[in-house]
Structure 1
Amino acid sequence: MKKIESFQVNHLNLRRGIYLSRKDYIGDNCITTFDIRMKVPNQMPVMNTAELHTIEHICATFLRNHDIYDEKTIYFGPMGCRTGFYVVFKGEFDSENVVDIITEMFKYIANYEGEVPGADAASCGNYLDMNLPMAKYEANVYLKEVLENLSYENLHYSK
């Protein structure tokens, strides 16, 4: 069986950052997937499902209401390993092109107040599994430790 691309990334050398995961083409249209890596795989404790779920709800809502990225956002969701998220945008981008929107999004989460969007029984299949204080904490740590100190190594997979 063919090994998928994300399993071919050497997770032993992977740092926290924003990585171009893949570019796919549907006709002339490019779809770009990014790996938003918040935790060092197999070294740092992973996020619990409650904060992961909360970040997912806030980010998906943020992107789909953004003045520029509303029409570009195809998907935002968690990695099964709970070390980060995937975001899929319509268009051809590199990691450097999305630093500003990812930073803006994590500042938004870190400062978020109010009800978590879609955190009710009619809107979500597991609405009780939410933790806004921990989501804000995780977003703030990622913002301060990673996004405000990005280098080439945090934007490009090592070979």
Structure 2
Amino acid sequence: MNVESFNLDHRTVSAPYVRVADRKELPHGDVITKYDVRFTQPNVAHLEMKAIHSLEHLFAEHSRNHSSSVVDFSPMGCQTGYYLILQGEPDVAAVVDLIEATLTDVLDATEVPAANEVQCGWGENHSLEAAQDAAREFLAQRAVWEQVSE
């Protein structure tokens, strides 16, 4: 199939993890790399929408304080994680450091950025507490992020 994650056997992975999901060389030679940042075990657990939405806002804002290579941080429709797209080809260890630093910032946040009807398409659908709980749980399992399957 054309979509990399559709070719991934979701029964064989062990979340949480961070893995390279795709790499694209663009027409002018620039490279972007997509990372699968999986918070919950596929087909077993999922993140609630307010947590997903708020963590998306928080990560999108705070990650750019740590890296100018961040292109996008997008939630997966299955609600089990996110795709982090970066310019270039940083190795997984560098990406893990970026994620750890950003999620640590999330724990220190006092509000969800742009959580209002002017800056967001569903401004009332946020929960700082739920996002921080998800970040805390993911950070607590930092030792296994680079281990995709058991």
Could you tell me the TM-score, scaled by structure 1's length?
Answer: 0.86
CA shift for structure 1 position 82: 0.4
1:100 is matched with: 97
* Offset from partner CA, 1:4-38 (integer Å, 9 cap, x none): 21110110011211111111001321100001000
Aligned to 1:134: 130
Question: Is the 2:19–2:146 contact (alpha carbons within 8 Å) kept by the matching residues of 1?
Answer: no
Superposed CA offset, 1:25-81 (max 9, x none): 0132110000100001012x21111110000000001123x1x51x31111110000
Provide the secondary structure at the position in 1 that maps to 2:115.
coil
Partners in 1 of 2:76 and 2:88 — Cα distance? 22
Gaps of 5+ in 2: none
2:46 maps to what in 1?
46
Name the SS of the counterpart of 1:153 in structure 2.
coil
Is the 8 Å Cα contact of residues 52 and 131 (structure 2) preserved in structure 1?
yes
Cα distance in structure 2, aligned partners of 1:137 and 1:4: 30
The number of residue pairs the alignment matches comes to: 148
1:86 — aligned with what?
83
What is the CA RMSD across the aligned residues, in angstroms? 1.6
Q: TM-score, normalised by structure 2?
A: 0.91
After the TM superposition, list the runs of 4 or more consecutive aligned residues in structure 1 that deviate by more than 6 angstroms.
Answer: none
- Say whether 1:116 aligns with 2:112: yes
- Report the AA paired with residue 92 of structure 1: E
> In the aligned structure 1, how far is the partner of 2:78 from the partner of 2:40?
10
Give the aligned residue type for 1:35.
Answer: D
Q: Describe how 1:6-25 pairs up with structure 2 within 5 A.
A: 6-15=5-14, 16-25=16-25
Q: 1:9 to 1:117 in 2, by over 3 A?
A: same
Structure 1 residues without counterparts, runs of 5 or longer: none
Partners in 1 of 2:92 and 2:41 — Cα distance?
18
Distance 1:110 1:17 in 2: 19
For the residue of structure 2 that corresponds to 1:32, the secondary structure is strand
Mapped partners of 2:23, 2:96: distance in 1: 17
Letter in 2 for 1:47: L
How many Å apart are 1:152 and its aligned residue?
Answer: 4.7
